[in-house]
């Protein structure tokens, strides 16, 4: 929808959606192109946003224990939503099912809505009036909530929110989220130091 | 043509990044510190994404109906509501506040 409005053809919009399949990167690319950025600047911004998928992959490869031959195919579905759903599952079996179901349904839905959106953005009307723009953050919040079990996780989440929002107006799109990811090593480091100085066992080893 | 170049670079780059994460050898993940870190990174990323999608419009911070919607979702989560109800609460409250002129 957005990209149809910024000078991309229907074919270009759909190819982007089918092959990139990382919403934030697609929006970043389209936004940068619409703002008159060169192709490489635009692509660099989109890549920056895609880097977080590598972190999800780190977690998922361990959790799903995928055979080496399957990984190149599974890789395309490593995105925010599949990672969040899989990581929320209690067992490897349900994590695998979660990954495949989420990946498949999102892939179909995402590309179908891209096509529909590009075909007739006006026909669908103003999605914001229906409050649909709140669905995205609500989904993320629902997936995040079960991960916030201990104080360490809550501290990381709180620091990440501060970094993500505080840096948003001053850094290029996509970069604040990456900086916010640094909340994880920062909190781990601070916790490690504190427990080392007290001489007791770190929380994570109990 | 420029647009196709940008699309091509993005397609290849985004795929390579996704694959790289999956191909890192499992042995590297066995160390406790790495495992802790890999568990905490999604927490940080999801928290930052949630906040940004709630309080931003492009690169500007805003407080609008979405905040009410996401707050409703948070309440639903605390009440242990099912997933779909949580999302429905966010969408419904956002639409309602907007209809009232918020």
In tens, the pLDDT along B56-84 reads: 887 788 898 999 999 999 999 999 988 78
How far, in Å, CA of A148 to CA of B89, rounded?
Answer: 21
Residue, of A118 and A182, whose pLDDT is higher: A182
- Can you tell me which residue has the tokens 């999604």? B42
* Dist. CA A178–CA B61, nearest whole Å: 18
Q: Is B38 on the interface with A (CB under 8 A)?
A: yes
pLDDT tens per residue across span A134-181: 877 887 788 788 888 889 999 999 999 999 899 988 887 767 877 888
Q: What chain B residue is nearest to A150 in terms of C-alpha separation?
A: B40
Tell me the chain A residues in contact with residue B53 when contact means C-beta distances shorter than 8 Å.
Answer: 133, 136-137, 140
Three-state DSSP class for B64? coil
Q: How far is CA A1 from CA A9, A107, A172, B25, B83, in A?
A: 11, 16, 23, 39, 27
Nearest to B40 by CA among A196, A1, A187, A125: A187
Q: Within 13 A of A137's CA, how many CA atoms are on the CB side?
A: 27
Classify the complex by whether its ipTM is higher than 0.85, answering yes or no: no
Report the length, in residues, of chain A.
206
- Report how far apart, in Å, the C-alpha atoms of A140 and of each of A51, A134, A146, B31, B48 are: 18, 10, 11, 28, 10
Contacts of B11 in chain A (CB under 8 A): 15-16, 19-20
User: Which residue bears the tokens 């959606």?
Assistant: A17
The residue of B36, B44, B75, B78 whose CB has the most chain A CBs within 10 angstroms, and thus the best one to mutate to test that interface, is B44
For the full predicted model, state whether its pTM sits above 0.90: no
Between chains, do B33 and A188 touch, taking CB under 8 Å as contact?
Answer: yes
In which residue ranges of chain B is pLDDT below 70?
1-3, 6, 25-30, 102
Which has more pLDDT, A73 or A145? Answer: A145
Q: How far is B31 from chain A (nearest CA, A)?
A: 12
The pLDDT assigned to B37 comes to: 80
B23 has a chain A CB within 8 A of its CB: yes
| Domain extents in chain A | 4-136, 148-201
């Amino acid at each position: 929808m957005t990209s149809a409005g910024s000078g991309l053809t229907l074919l270009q919009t759909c190819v982007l959606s089918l092959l990139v399949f990382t919403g934030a990167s697609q929006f970043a690319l389209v936004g940068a192109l619409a703002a008159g950025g060169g192709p490489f600047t635009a692509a660099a911004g989109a890549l920056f946003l895609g880097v977080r998928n590598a972190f999800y992959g780190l977690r998922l490869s361990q959790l799903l224990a995928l055979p080496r031959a399957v990984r190149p195919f599974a890789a395309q579905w490593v995105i925010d939503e599949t990672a969040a759903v899989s990581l929320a599952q209690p067992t490897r079996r349900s994590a695998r099912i979660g990954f495949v179901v989420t990946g498949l349904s999102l892939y179909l839905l995402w590309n179908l809505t891209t096509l529909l959106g590009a075909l007739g953005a006006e026909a669908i009307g103003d999605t914001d009036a229906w409050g649909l723009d709140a669905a995205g953050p609500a989904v993320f919040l629902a997936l995040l909530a079960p991960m916030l079990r201990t104080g360490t996780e809550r501290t990381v989440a709180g620091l990440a929110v501060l970094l993500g929002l505080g840096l948003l107006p001053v850094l290029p799109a996509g970069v604040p989220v990456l900086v916010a990811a640094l909340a994880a090593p920062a909190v781990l480091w601070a916790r490690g130091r504190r427990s080392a100085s007290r001489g007791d066992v770190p929380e994570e080893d109990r | 043509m420029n647009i196709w170049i940008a699309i091509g670079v993005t397609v290849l780059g985004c795929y390579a990044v996704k694959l790289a994460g999956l191909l890192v050898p499992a042995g590297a993940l066995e160390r406790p510190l790495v495992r802790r870190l890999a568990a905490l990174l999604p927490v940080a990323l999801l928290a930052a994404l949630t906040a940004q999608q709630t309080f931003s419009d492009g690169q500007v911070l805003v407080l609008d109906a979405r905040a009410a919607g996401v707050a409703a979702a948070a309440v639903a989560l605390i009440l242990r509501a099912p997933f779909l109800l949580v999302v429905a609460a966010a969408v419904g409250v956002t639409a309602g506040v907007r209809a009232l002129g918020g």
